[in-house]
């Protein structure tokens, strides 16, 4: 089954404790992206990757890091999480960034930073 898998689905942690949210897709998609979703603000892009070893900042990259060592994986790293990073996070992928290609979303990761 074609899917985007995120882990963990839920995490409660404390300020400053490094964490990684994994994202994996099995569709051989080139383009992957991370979003955060907050009430009233919609989906905002954190980072994206157009292919292996190619990553770039989205609209709200501060406090986050990503890597794309393999095509299928695109982990999101919070080196020193803070309470303002409490949010619902989605990973998404698409065949490329071109015309008419909808993004496939993972089920989301709800992070709470205390």
Partner 1 sequence: GQNIDQPTEMTATEGAIVQINCTYQTSGFNGLFWYQQHAGEAPTFLSYNVLDGLEEKGRFSSFLSRSKGYSYLLLKELQMKDSASYLCAVRDGAAGNKLTFGGGTRVLVKP
Cα distance between residue 65 and residue 106, in whole Å: 19
Of the candidates 26, 50, 37, the one whose C-alpha atom is nearest the C-alpha of residue 108 is: 37
**Cα dist. 53→8, 29, 70, 94 in Å?**
24, 14, 8, 17
- Which lies closer to partner 1 via its Cβ, residue 7 or residue 45? 45
* Residues between 52 and 91 that touch partner 1 (CB under 8 A): 58-59, 88, 90
Single residue of 17, 53, 97, 114 touching partner 1 by CB under 8 A: 97
CB of 38 to partner 1, least distance (A): 10
Single residue of 11, 19, 27, 43 touching partner 1 by CB under 8 A: 43
Order across the sheet with 76-78: list the strands.
Answer: 4-7, 19-25, 76-78, 65-66
Q: Binding of partner 1 at residue 1 (CB under 8 A)?
A: no
Name the residues that contact partner 1, by CB under 8 A. 33, 35, 40-45, 58-59, 88, 90, 97-100, 102-108
């Amino acid at each position: 089954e074609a899917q985007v898998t995120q882990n963990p689905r839920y995490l409660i942690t404390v300020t400053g404790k490094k964490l990684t949210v994994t994202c994996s897709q099995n569709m051989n998609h080139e383009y992957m992206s991370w979003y955060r979703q907050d009430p009233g603000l919609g989906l905002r892009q954190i980072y994206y990757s157009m292919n292996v070893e190619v990553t770039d900042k989205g609209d709200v990259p501060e406090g986050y890091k990503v890597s794309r060592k393999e095509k299928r994986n695109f982990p999101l790293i919070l080196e020193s999480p803070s309470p303002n990073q409490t949010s619902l996070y989605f990973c998404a992928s698409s065949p490329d960034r071109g015309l008419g290609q909808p993004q496939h979303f993972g089920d989301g990761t709800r992070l709470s930073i205390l």
